[in-house]
């Protein structure tokens, strides 16, 4: 079976971009174990992912990657909805994985969609009104018709059942993994980081986007 990973989100510097990059890096190396032929739709202007310890070499990755100009705005939207289908036909892929909440509006049955959260349903005031309205419309049109839905938390799975009425048996909860680079650093590496960034002995690091839904005031109060 051939599967196309829509990795156009890989250039996004938020969590969904990191998730997409990790899938593009790891899935090809795991595919032979489950008898799946993985292909990847990848932004042309983005370097390939770091394949260290990925279980696949650079030549293999280049062979299975289909490079496109991802663009932005309406061009990106059209590519997500039409261009991805065209690439899937050329590659003979029978299934398309959309890794960032929104799938395919037309004939969504041949897709798997990962939904990270439904905050635009639960707390729409956290977003600009037009963006929240688009997300709600797009998710309503694409996720319920997908062949399978992946949620990366039980809370999101419950929201999928509550807001979108998706049956529990069509949802797979797959927790996010942890990359090897997040292993505890050695004393020498820690000392070098402290010197480079002039860090005190004790400090607090937040690594994420600046959005209301991140509840940063609560994080600061806790600290």
Average pLDDT, the chain: 90
Selection from 206, 205, 146, 208 nearest residue 172 by Cα = 146
The pTM of this model reads: 0.88
Q: Confidence band (pLDDT; 50, 70, 90) for 41?
A: very high
pLDDT more than 70, % of the chain: 100
CA distance 173 to 152: 6
Longest Cα separation, the chain: 56
Tokens of 221: 């109060």
Q: What is the CB-side half-sphere exposure of residue 49 using CA atoms within 13 A?
A: 31
Sorting pLDDT into bands at 50, 70 and 90, what band is 86? confident
| Rounded-to-integer distance, Cα 85 and Cα 96, Å | 8
- Return the pLDDT at 205: 87
Q: Count of CB atoms within 10 A of residue 132's CB? A: 17
Check pLDDT > 80 for residue 14: yes
Look up residue 91 and give its two tokens.
């590659």
pLDDT for position 77? 77
Model pLDDT, residue 221: 93
Determine contact, residues 102/140, Cβ cutoff 8 Å. no
| CA distance to 74, 132, 163, 217, 219, per residue, from 124 (Å) | 23, 6, 13, 19, 21
Specify the pairing of strand 111-115 against strand 65-68. Answer: unpaired
């Amino acid at each position: 079976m051939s599967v196309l990973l829509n990795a156009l989100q890989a250039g996004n510097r938020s969590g969904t971009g990191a998730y997409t990059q990790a899938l593009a890096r790891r899935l090809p190396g795991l595919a032979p174990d489950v008898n799946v032929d993985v292909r990847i739709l990848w932004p042309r202007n983005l370097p390939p992912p770091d394949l260290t310890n990925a279980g696949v070499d650079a030549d293999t990755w280049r062979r299975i990657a289909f490079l496109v100009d991802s663009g932005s705005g309406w061009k990106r939207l059209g590519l997500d909805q039409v261009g991805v289908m065209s690439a899937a036909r050329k590659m003979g892929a029978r299934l398309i994985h959309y890794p960032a909440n929104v799938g395919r509006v037309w004939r969504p049955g041949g897709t798997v969609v990962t939904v990270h959260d439904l905050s635009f349903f639960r707390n729409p005031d956290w977003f600009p009104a037009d963006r929240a309205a688009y997300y709600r419309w797009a998710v309503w049109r694409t996720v319920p018709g997908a062949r399978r839905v992946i949620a990366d938390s039980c809370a999101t799975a419950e929201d999928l059942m509550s807001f979108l009425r998706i049956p529990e048996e069509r949802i797979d909860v797959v927790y996010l993994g942890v990359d090897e680079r997040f292993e505890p650093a050695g004393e020498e590496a820690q000392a070098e980081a402290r010197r480079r960034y002039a860090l005190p002995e004790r400090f607090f690091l937040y690594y994420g986007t600046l959005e209301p839904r991140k509840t940063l005031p609560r994080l600061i109060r806790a600290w």
